[in-house]
Amino acid sequence: MEVKVKGIYKHFKGDYYLVEDIAIHSETDEKLVIYRALYGTNVLYARPYKSFIDKVDKIKYPNIKQEYRFELQNIKSKNI
């Protein structure tokens, strides 16, 4: 799966996030997803890319229907 910059993603626990950008850690060269909460105070987060695209642990969360930790949402304008 490839993460879409400026895409809106739903976390498997229900909240929505906007991916702001992809960054590279200055010391380890690890790819990081920079994303903002679309609720509350709109906190900005960074998470390892591999963790962002991981599948939901179905053993720990057996009742979750979503396959991936974060899933891209197809949100259409009301004006179309």
| DSSP secondary structure letters along 13-74 | TS-EEEEEEEEE-TTT--EEEEEEESSTT--EEEEEHHHHTPBP-TTT-TT---SBSEEE--
49 pLDDT above the threshold of 90: yes
Predicted TM-score (pTM) of this structure: 0.89
In a domain, 19, yes or no: yes
Q: Find the CATH number of the domain harbouring 42.
A: 2.30.30.320
Does 59 fall in a domain? yes
pLDDT of residue 1: 85
d(CA 32, CA 25): 7
Tally the domains of the chain. 1
The pLDDT of 20-38, averaged and rounded, is: 98
Residue 43 lies in a domain: yes
pLDDT at 75: 86
Task: For residue 78, tell me if it sits in a domain.
Answer: no
Give the span between the Cα atoms of 39 and 12, in whole angstroms.
15
User: Has residue 80 been placed in a domain?
Assistant: no
